[in-house]
Amino acid sequence: MALDSKIPHGPIQNKWTDYKNHIDLVNPANKRHIDIIVVGTGLAGGSAAATLAELGYNVKAFAYQDSPRRAHSIAAQGGINAAKNYQGDGDSTYRLFYDTVKGGDYRSREANVYRLAEVSANIIDQCVAQGVPFARDYGGLLDNRSFGGVLVSRTFYAKGQTGQQLLLGAYSAMNRQIARGKIEMFNRHEMLDVVKVDGKARGIIARNLITGEIERHSAHAVVIASGGYGNVYFLSTNAMGSNATAAWKIHKKGAYFANPCYTQIHPTCIPRSGDYQSKLTLMSESLRNDGRIWVPKNIEDAKALQQRKMKPTDIAEENRDYFLERRYPAFGNLVPRDVASRAAKERCDAGYGVNATGEAVFLDFASAITRYGKTQAKIQNIENPSDAKIYELGQAIVEEKYGNLFQMYEKIVDENPYKTPMMIYPATHYTMGGIWVDYNLMTTVNGLYCIGEANFSEHGANRLGASALMQGLADGYFVLPYTIGDYLSKEIRTGKIPTNTPEFDEAEKEVTDRINFFINNKGTNSVDYYHKKLGKIMWDKCGMSRNEQGLKEAMTEIKALREDFWKNVKVPGTASEMNPELEKAGRVADFLELGELFAKDALNRNESCGGHFREESVELDGEQKGEAKRNDKDYAYVAAWEFKGEPADAVLHKEILEFKDIELKQRSYK
């Protein structure tokens, strides 16, 4: 099957406008006869469901949580990008487009990225109209701050709760449509398969997570907005419930999967403290605006910190290595996430880590507190302020900007980050890979769409900070509602899709048989036993550092682990009740399949890109590994896995993207 991205012809800045001018539309009177299923109600799914219902379609929305308000989008902290240029510092649609493509190591689809940059400004207006409480400056105008990988301030934010506030905006829009009867909401439901009829997506099989009942739901189109698969690593910044099941099920029904090995390694996470942890906690990238990242210059000081024989405040300024500022003076601490992550790991691998495990660097706010304090003293006409007064004034400013983040850190680590530098370390965060989609956001299955983090299209090998919320809301509010109409315009005479068909029978039987297997299997190991083992394989051999031998070993080990899982997993309880272990069993089974595909994709990419360093592709040692050189494969491509025969026989397919609209350059932050 040939991949057709359906990218419109013409100059990149005109593609989206010209496309909208020529697509087919659905008459408002006909929309009421068309049903759409939306799986996932985070920012992408919630905004899509609300907008499609507002347009007049009948929407069924599914969330495995007890409310859309609990979608993982709520955990996003730092902000949302938009090319408004409110700061007058030179931002533009083109610059946001360029920064995104460049930050993704030129592995994004240009046309989709330009469209994203183009509609970004509309997102802010939409959310302000919904009442989202964005931060404002002294004059009452919307405020902006900077994020990694850019030289402008374009990130709109609501303290450290941006995701939560944006989600509440989308949720309020959904609630309006629920009250009007245009959205039928299914909380505590999990999609377990997609149903295809004559090659088109016509519905889903879902499980009521409270009663265990298996349900059939039909529609003229299905939209997957179920987020990413970072939990394949077990330890990640994702909520424990975040999973790949919806995306993986549609992949097994013919939707191609692209770039599975591209994952975001976020540099600003609280380090792990032991093997008992089930997840890691993200500290917003916004903290790198004012926090300075450092390790000791002397290995002896690092050893003393690891052994708790010295405090970070005992190390003099001249004995501190602000390694990001030293290596990348133009960007300093605001280099992109992949660069910062690799640099931090290199310093820790060299022995300069600052906690007991040697896997942490400092994020220090002392300089910012002093700088803000001196400014406030001048504003308040305080002459000759004491050091204590300066610190008090500066701390109040930092607390106003990041207070809830500092509070969260103190509750987890039990240290006051105003007095002692935070400790951070890279961790798995966002996934750039996902379901392959064309310009319309349709998968390789007709009538099956995928939006938000669940698809692959915008971020290449690395996502710029504050772009996740932008993509989710752009897809849901401003892109999908246009593109899905072009497909549905051919469905106005189809009529209601029946569920009493052989296709629904077969899909339900597959789901039921799998559930019954888990409940009846007399194994000895818990689901978490296998998930943790998979996570260790993934991090050790498919994480930030990769090599051919390790990836081949990972594929072998994952296959063996998967075989043992199907023989020896134990799931307590029954299928006719709320059973979290049964839910996890299905999700981990999917991770065990995805993990092998992940390793196979990484094996086929003999290159260093994004947050991943391929060891044999470049000859580097020591500190050079902090910014791996590119090899001769520095082109953009999408890896999609085309089934030939059995799903296990997936074959790599490359789609070369031609870059005619921007000048290809070696990415450099020096």
Among all residues, which ones are annotated catalytic? 337
Specify whether the CB–CB gap between 184 and 64 falls below 8 A. Answer: no
Measure the CA–CA gap between 342 and 428, rounded to whole angstroms. 12
Q: Which residues contact 554 (CB under 8 A, 6 or more apart)?
A: 537, 538, 541, 542, 595, 599
Q: Which residues contact 556 (CB under 8 A, 6 or more apart)?
A: none
The residue with tokens 């005992």 is 314
Measure the CA–CA gap between 178 and 184, rounded to whole angstroms. 6
Specify whether the CB–CB gap between 468 and 81 falls below 8 A. Answer: no
The residue with tokens 């419109």 is 8
Nearest alpha carbon to residue 196 among 444, 483, 490? 444
Specify whether the CB–CB gap between 559 and 535 falls below 8 A. Answer: no
Phi, psi of 665 (to 5 degrees): -130, 150
For the chain, percent helix, then strand, then coil, each to nearest 5? 45, 15, 40
Half-sphere exposure of 116 (CA within 13 A, CB side): 31
Q: Which residues contact 2 (CB under 8 A, 6 or more apart)?
A: none
Specify whether the CB–CB gap between 442 and 199 falls below 8 A. Answer: no
- The alpha carbon torsion through 602, 603, 605, 607 (nearest 10 deg) reads 90
Q: In 3-state terms, what secondary structure has residue 632?
A: coil
201 bridge partner residues: 196
